[in-house]
Structure 1
Amino acid sequence: MLIIAIIFPFHFQTVFSAVDGIRPSQSISDGKTLVSKEAMFEFGFFSLGNSKSRYVGIWYKNIPITIVWVANRCKPINNSSGLLTINSTGNLVLLYQNKSVAWSTSASKQAKKPLVELLDSGNLVLRDEEDKNSENYLWQSFDYPCDTLIAGMKIGRDLRTGRNLRLSAWKNWDDPCPGDFTYGLEFDQKLNTYPEFYLRKGNAKCYRSGPWNGIRFSGGVEQRPNPYFSFESVYSDDEVYYGFNLKNKSLISILAVNQTTSLRQRLTWIKADQAWKPYSNSPRDDCDKYRHCGANANCDMKENPICECLKGFKPTSPETWSLMDWSKGCVRNKPMSSLEKGKDGFIKFPGLKVPDTTHSWVNKSMNTKECRAKCLSSSSCMAYTNTDIRGQGSGCALWFGDLIDIRQFPQGGQDLFIRMPSSELGKVGDNMRVVIVVSVIGGFSGMLLLGFCFCRRGSEGKTARNIETICQHGGQEEDLELPLFNLSSIIVATENFSPYNKLGEGGFGPVYRGKLEDGQEIAVKRLSINSAQGVYELKNEVKLIAKLQHRNLVKLLGCCIQGEEKLLVYEYMPNKSLDFFIFDQKQGKLFEWSKRLQIICGIARGLLYLHQDSRLRVIHRDLKASNVLLDNDMNPKISDFGLARIFGGDQTEEQTNRVIGTYGYMAPEYAFDGLFSVKSDVFSFGILVLEIVSGKKSRGFHHQNHGVTLIGHAWKLHKEGNSIEMFDKHLREADNNVEQVLRCIHVGLLCVQQSPVDRPNMSSVVVMLGSESELPQPKPPGYFVEMDLAKGGHSSTNPESSSMNDMSISLLDAR
């Protein structure tokens, strides 16, 4: 359970809050409010931060300050003299002290008996009280969305009036005037394209939802049928819009656009925690960034690298592509001009967010067969899909020109049929058949043999027999040789697991020092019978470490499974683990800066190898000081891969039902919902950097008893321009490289930013640590303040203020 308390300064003075509507004879002065009948929402004057400027808006009545709508977004009242009243034309107006108009409604016609009401839906409406139909609104705030979409609202386009309803972020936390981030539905009415959501910064596209497919937007995996929300999308001759409703009326959820985090977020109010909990973010990862892989390429977070040309295509610029600059995208192996009528065909690419529909053509009544024929009839048609994934056979979309912004989903997604000349059909078809055969064979073999290590009597330590372990990855079979140790040799080496040889104990179990007959020193990890981690974690560690070879990763020498004993044998690290040095007062004084910097850079290189340069994309998930071992020369080696995953998941698509990790190191998105990615490891690395620099533990750090976390302390000092105070006091007065220290703190803060989208990749981190280039300014971090978990916290949609930004965490499974 994650508790967030993020408060921005907000003040209003309420003299009374007893009415839900006003008539021409009434007015609302500053200090008075309207409250909806069931006290769901409140409407009145408020200020932001320490400003005296007054705004008029709507907020939740019983939830700590969450603004959902602002009337005078760019025209604040400079004092408390503002007045809301109904004028002679029947419109609600906001007046300055001199009676000039700051803001007003624009009723479709003049009411005989105007009435302004605040509904329990959060909609402020103007209607004619004499109209028997109380839902005939002459004006409503729902038609003028700001940065927040609430249940019952809609965003889209009224094709009769041309009105475009979209969300626009605030400029900043103190200014609700529209910023340059917008979120709305877009489509080409002339080409009859399907609507898609776009998050834009100015005119530039940042994120695309994928087109509507009959059930959801193809890139919106969070919109799959669920017990909480129902989604509504209307595409008619009069209007195109999207909205959501709540199946449980006691549930409160909003969708907001955030200028600071550059995200579209869905937040759900958790009453028990008195906090807003993120349900989904967009963009979620690098594959969600618009055109991240360029044209005619597929982005897949499970792969390394994540960008790959579609089959039948090749990099436009092989040189830049090899440097992981994918912006130029891919081109066909054979140009479209090589298509031969009657001989070309299509290759099916399943499970995709289909391409940007800007250059597409749509027919809602065509079936799949007709759609295919239509594409074949045009020499410039690149691809087609059935736009209704419910299997009803209706709906056709055709693409012309490059295929832009495709991503792969592990489940769900749509089938895309890409046109190929006959010469390419044979090549791609053969390859696909090979993949299928190898996958089946490899998967069956893997079930039988994956990760098992057998102990054989008579074999001795280092010269033990090898076992052939078959692992299937990416449609290929690999033979991995791993030395085996028999139990008797391990017992002799560790003196029967003597307490005197015990090096420590983790979530897996105790670790013992030992010496083999040939004199080689080893470390033996012994699975505890009562450990929450078991054979699966042991197999996972064997499988991963056997494939990974890097100077900053601990080396696995072998394994043994015999009876109840399950053992892993590693190279011995004489200098124990990192936490032994940095958190110990005596050892910390001797741990000079040059060694600390060497360790920071070594951990960064090890993570870079795991995330990018190894044969597998590995997410460690439990990076912490005690899992970094030090060799004779104090070189760091990342250890303990029991919780690691080969899968390159993101905050919404790779999820674990059981969050296991270590307090103080978990990234917020992992703690929220078990969502992890390479950026989760980046967050943990940032914590490690701050710990190494300061000599302080992240967990349990309470600066001056004010509850500020280590991250919060670093952030405050950074904002004050006094980051050097973070440096370990034992080394602060020594002759150290201050610029290096400050740079490491700055990089650490970049790594612990709240949003995973903002955190750098490890490749960027390594470059930043080794260069003198200017660094970007970090955004507010996660876990700013540690709160009393029993008391809970509260939240708003604003992630930070100048004074407070509280967040703490409580998890069931911690190590």
Structure 2
Amino acid sequence: MYYTYHLLNSSLLSRVVINQDGIVQRFTWIDRTQVWELYLTAQTDNCDRYAWCGAYGSCSINNSPVCSCLRGFVPKVPKEWDLVDWSSGCVRKTPLNCSTDGFRKYSSLKLPETKISWFDTSMNLEDCKITCMKNCSCTAYATLDISDGGSGCLLWSAELVDIREFSKNGQEIYIRMAASEIGDDDDVKSQVKSNVKKQTMIILSCVLSSAMLFLGLALVIYVWKKQQQKDSNLENSASTKNKKEDMELPLFDLGTISCATDNFSATNKLGEGGFEPVYKGRLKDGREVAVKRLSENSKQGLDEFKNEVMHIAKLQHRNLVKLLGCCIESDEKILIYEFMPNKSLDFFIFDQTQSLFLDWPKRYNIIKGIARGILYLHQDSRLRIIHRDLKASNILLDYEMNPKISDFGLARSFGGNETEANTNKVVGTYGYMSPEYAIDGLYSAKSDVFSFGVIVLEIVSGKRNRGFCHPEHHLNLLGHAWRLYMEGRSIEMIDASVRSSCNLSEVLRSVHVGLLCVQRRLEDRPSMSAVVFMLGCEGALPEAKQPGFFTERDLIEVNSSSNKHSSSSANGPTITLLQAR
């Protein structure tokens, strides 16, 4: 790979770097501000990463997950694929047999790397196929030059890596496959043709009787619609049915949910999630579930309900809470989640007694698990999702104290090349919102990075960011962590209940990474892929700069600048509503 550019102004300083994420970036020196400003980024998405999906794996940024095996191939190490690690690639379902093999056509692809390949400019595509068939080590062939109808021959003689799918354009490649795999293709085509002929005969032979049936059915539908208009309840039911079809989720009837929760008994109430009460329930098959019931009078809650279903329905990751289904019946709108027996993270880290159940290894595992979950939302899900309300009470814990990110009611998705957006109504929780979001309404993936940094410092210290007090100063938790960091005393951040079980280097690294995430300027904050990398290695970390909102006065000034009444808690379910300047 190479990159060239020509400077029109020879006095301008410019440099090109490859950062720790493997992304090529170009910076220019600005004399006025005395800083290197980012000029452009070469890479556009994860599918631009070399061999991201391994051998015979195909990367499509429009799919979730982005990696999948080519048809006729399966994951080489399924367990690694389940953990969203595709580097091992795929292997053939059926081994090759040189004398009987054939070729399967794949379209709209970026061709594999050509490090081990051969080409001939004079061959046509048919000669290319014959040449590849005669060579048992030949794995695939394609047209060398696709311009002017195509010409030339390109052969591969090794595993095919670095393949990407495109929704349009792209090139065609013919991959060597076992005869049984190619035979399946022929059988399918034959079956389709046979079905078309049968359907044509049925349509032609039954057209008259179908017409009569249609007239009779139309009459029945007309009478049925008349009855619907007379009964508003039935009309609402029809509307509800249409909403169910849009959800693309398993549907539960209200009777089943009512029975599972003992008619929404107060004894089964787990708490409040956003605008809705959450109940514990047990289905007839014995599964324990969490039932989130939409408040009947909350219009904002209705919007959140639709938003939560849209964003979480197709998300699958071990560090995200799993949505099992929904119920839309009459005026009820209910979400059914997997049950998290150990409640939420704030229940443990902010309580002197409960915090004893979370030793340092568990806390460090929770920090890394949350980071992996956010990384999936930002980069590996079909739409890049910004959570916008990450906080300790929205991190649930399963039987083994593994973290699961929950409550997607305020989430927003980015598509294409979008990286940030602006809103005139700021929603979230004080103490976790980034400065650019709370003040200007600007949110991006770096807004979630800031919230994650706050959570990390709260996990390490066992103290809330908001309401934190210290006899020596009036700083909040971020300011306190920054002060200790600058004085080389970050170890004093550790919660007293885990000092005996802590790993000193992990504690210091966690505090350092947390401070990198809460830096005031969003450009200084690392991406979540960089955060996951830093937490998993032992290399040197960049120096942290001053955090945003490191005193309570910062938050008071933001609150006083709001034109609209705000309702917030330090870490509770209440949503903060602000009018941005």
Same fold (TM > 0.5): yes
Post-superposition Cα deviations, 1:184-209, rounded to whole Å, max 9, x if no partner, equal xx99599xxxxxxx9x7x54489xxx
Structure 1 position 590, deviation (Å): 2.7
1:769 counterpart (527, 530, 535):
535
Deviations 1:332-369, CA, capped at 9 Å, x for gaps: xxxxxxxxxxxxxxxxxxxxxxxxxxxxxxxxxxxxxx
Structure 1 residues 32-68: Cα deviation after superposition (integer angstroms, max 9, x where no partner): xxxxxxxxxxxxxxxxxxxxxxxxxxxxxxxxxxxxx
2:465 counterpart letter in structure 1? S
Distance 1:203 1:188, change over 3 A: closer
Q: Is the contact between residue 383 and residue 415 of structure 2 (CA under 8 Å) also seen in structure 1?
A: no
Structural mapping, 1:142-153, within 5 Å: none
Query: Among 744, 748, 762, which residue is 2:510 paired with?
Result: 744
Aligned in 2, Cα 1:695/1:550: closer, same or farther, shift over 3 Å? same
**1:641 counterpart residue number:** 408
**Residues 559 and 566, structure 2, Cα contact 8 Å, conserved in 1:** no
Paired residues in the alignment total: 378
Correspondence 1:812 to 2:579 = no
Partners of 1:651 and 1:676 within 8 A in 2: no
Bigger share in strand: 1
Q: Are 1:521 and 2:279 counterparts?
A: no
Contact 2:438–2:558 at 8 Å: present in 1 too? Answer: no
Q: Which moved more, 1:641-650 or 1:508-517?
A: 641-650
Tell me which residue corresponds to 2:494.
Answer: 727
Letter in 2 for 1:597: Y
Conservation of the 8 A alpha-carbon contact between 2:366 and 2:402:
yes
Q: Give the drift of 1:783.
A: 0.9
DSSP-derived class of the 1:319 partner: coil
**Matching residue of 1:550:** 317
1:501 aligned residue (268, 277, 280): 268
Distance across 2 between alignment mates of 1:740 and 1:526: 40
- Deviation for aligned residue 1:481: 4.1
Question: Structure 1 residue 784 and structure 2 residue 550: aligned?
Answer: yes
- Tell me which amino acid in the other structure corresponds to 1:639: S
| Aligned-partner Cα distance in 2 for 1:781–1:706 | 16
Q: Indicate conservation of the 8 Å contact 1:671/1:811, yes or no.
A: no
CA drift at 1:576: 0.4
Aligned position for 1:625:
392
Q: Report if aligned partners of 2:454, 2:478 keep a CA contact under 8 Å in 1.
A: yes
1:292 to 41, 58, 71: 41
Distance 1:702 1:808 in 2: 25
Match of 1:607 in 2: 374
8 A Cα contact 1:651 1:675, kept in partner: no
What is the rounded CA distance, in whole Å, between the counterparts of 1:322 and 1:291 in structure 2? 26
DSSP-derived class of the 2:523 partner = coil
Paired residue for 1:573, among 340, 343, 361?
Answer: 340
Question: Do 1:689 and 1:745's aligned partners in 2 also have CA atoms closer than 8 Å?
Answer: yes
CA distance in 2, matches of 1:764, 1:720: 26
Match of 1:582 among 335, 349, 368: 349
Q: Equivalents in 2 of 1:688, 1:813: separation in Å? A: 21
Matched residues, percent identical? 58
Structure 2: how far apart are the matches of 1:514 and 1:624?
25
Structure 2: gaps of 5 or more residues: 1-5, 18-29, 55-145, 151-166, 170-234, 569-574, 576-581
Please give the secondary structure, in 1, of the residue aligned with 2:259: helix
CA gap of 1:649–1:589, structure 2 versus 1, over 3 A, is farther
Root mean square deviation, CA, Å? 3.9
2:419·2:444 contact (CA, 8 Å) conserved in 1?
no
Instruction: Give the aligned partner of residue 319 of structure 1.
Output: 50
In structure 2, what residue type is equivalent to 1:522?
Answer: V
Residue 496 and residue 749 in structure 1: after superposition, are their counterparts in 2 closer, same or farther (change >3 A)? same
State the AA in 1 paired with 2:50. Answer: E
Once the two structures are TM-superposed, the CA of residue 551 in structure 1 deviates from its matched residue by 0.5
Q: 1:678 aligns with which of 445, 454, 459?
A: 445
Secondary structure at the aligned position of 1:654 is classed as strand
| CA distance in 1 between partners of 2:334 and 2:303 (Å) | 13
Deviation digits for residues 726-775 of structure 1, max 9, x if unmatched?
0002222x142111111111111111111111111111111111111111
Task: Assess if the C-alpha contact under 8 Å between 2:392 and 2:455 holds in 1.
Answer: yes
Question: Letter of the aligned partner of 2:358 in structure 1?
Answer: F
- Residue 533 of structure 1 aligns with an amino acid whose one-letter code is Q
Shift of 1:629: 0.5
Which residue identity is paired with 2:552? E
Q: Residues 743 and 625 from structure 1, CA distance in 2 versus in 1: closer, same or farther, beyond 3 angstroms?
A: same
Deviation, structure 1 residue 706? 3.1
Cα distance change on mapping 1:256 and 1:647 into 2, 3 Å: farther
- Structure 1 unaligned blocks of 5 or more: 1-185, 191-197, 207-254, 264-282, 284-288, 309-314, 324-419, 425-429, 433-453, 458-465, 470-479, 795-806
Distance 1:690 1:749 in 2: 8
On the 8 A contact 1:651/1:669 being kept in 2, the answer is no
CA 1:322/1:788 → structure 2, altered by over 3 Å: closer, same or farther?
Answer: closer
TM-score, normalising length from structure 1? 0.42
How far residue 694 of structure 1 moved from its aligned partner, in angstroms, is 0.3
Q: Which residues of 2 match residues 311-710 of structure 1 at below 5 A?
A: 319=50, 431=168, 469=246, 481-531=248-298, 533-647=300-414, 654-704=421-471, 706-710=473-477
Structure with the largest fraction of helix: 2
Deviation, 1:561, is 1.6
Residues 601/189 of structure 1: CA separation in 2 closer, same or farther (3 Å cut): closer
State whether residues 557 and 571 of structure 1, in contact with CA within 8 Å, keep that contact through their aligned partners in structure 2.
Answer: yes
**Equivalent position SS for 1:488:** helix
- Counterpart of 2:389, as a letter, is D
Which residue identity does 1:571 align to in structure 2? Answer: E
- Residue 552 of structure 1 and its aligned partner are, at CA, apart by 0.5
Contact 1:714 1:726 in 2 (8 A): yes
Q: Does the aligned pair in 1 maintain the 2:361–2:501 contact within 8 Å?
A: no
Q: Distance in 2 between matches of 1:540 and 1:791?
A: 31
